[in-house]
Structure 1
């Protein structure tokens, strides 16, 4: 298995850093769909990057944007719910034994659907207000905080199935994931 390198910025405008990760997620999803690609490497990289990205957003970015009145409580909670749904889909993908099965392909598509929906909404309802209603200095400070937390999570092997299970269990306990009956 070849390891996929995950970029590790340490500073920058938080909006740009988050957008860079969104483009990384899109590339890794393309690799997961490609039977000739290193699907195992792409799955491991996507798991680590996605968990680190979302956890850092929830800890550092969303609360700061609320304090600055760039987003409201509903937008923050909706973003967290979508992270939880994506993390559940990620866990389903990680639980696939191989990368050459229909179950794997189905899990990739389920994750892609959840992730692409979230990326679109986040870029419009959270990142746009961050661009227009938050100063450049605050975005830079948030970028440093987000990148620091993201890199620390990557160092903790946050993409491991055990770590992802804990994140999903925490979301279930918090009520962020609705049961199948609610859908």
Structure 2
């Protein structure tokens, strides 16, 4: 369980909740780049948030947006592929023995690149259309479902090395990662 506060939203517009997490990712990446921070604690927090956020989106948000034609099947699949790529990059960072090595810095640079690409693309191609195409009441109910799943995942310790390894192995089996 991470010692860094990841927030515990219980309700709200799902778009705002997702954007709040996106800003958290950016802040955690800044902390990971800072050699004076407790990089092990930040790495654990980032892993927990990444897995919880991705699972909540894939289980609660993407299917509903797809059913409401706010996004198409390709966008939902592409979002899942980008989550898988993020999990793979996260696994590479988690498997670094120390946080003061060139291997860690290289893994962090790759993770930041993958995550920042996904955040930008998701905000442009999924969240903006959802803001226009999904009524506020639906976004509120999606927010409750997203927050509940996100918090459940965090409480379950979803960012452990073993869990991320399992997620990446499943993504490979499902063809979500390029060889």
**For the superposition of Structure 1 and Structure 2, which TM-score range results when normalised by the shorter chain?**
over 0.9
1:106 alignment counterpart: 106
The 3-state SS of whatever aligns with 2:88 is: helix
2:52 alignment counterpart: 52
1:65 alignment counterpart: 65
1:127 Cα deviation after fit: 0.2
1:123 alignment counterpart: 123
Find runs of 4+ consecutive structure 1 residues off by over 6 angstroms.
none
* CA offset digits 1:126-158 (Å, max 9, x no partner): 000110000000000000000000110111100
In structure 2, C-alpha distance between the alignment counterparts of 1:163 and 1:10, rounded to whole Å: 24
Q: Aligned residue pairs: how many?
A: 178
Aligned runs of 1:15-164 on 2, under 5 Å?
15-164=15-164
1:166 alignment counterpart: 166
In structure 1, C-alpha distance between the alignment counterparts of 2:167 and 2:14, rounded to whole Å: 23
In structure 2, C-alpha distance between the alignment counterparts of 1:167 and 1:17, rounded to whole Å: 23
User: If the length of structure 2 is used for normalisation, what is the TM-score?
Assistant: 0.98
In structure 1, C-alpha distance between the alignment counterparts of 2:170 and 2:136, rounded to whole Å: 33
1:90 Cα deviation after fit: 0.2
User: If the length of structure 1 is used for normalisation, what is the TM-score?
Assistant: 0.96
In structure 1, C-alpha distance between the alignment counterparts of 2:170 and 2:141, rounded to whole Å: 28
CA RMSD in angstroms comes to 0.8
Structure 1 unaligned blocks of 5 or more? none
The 3-state SS of whatever aligns with 1:145 is: helix
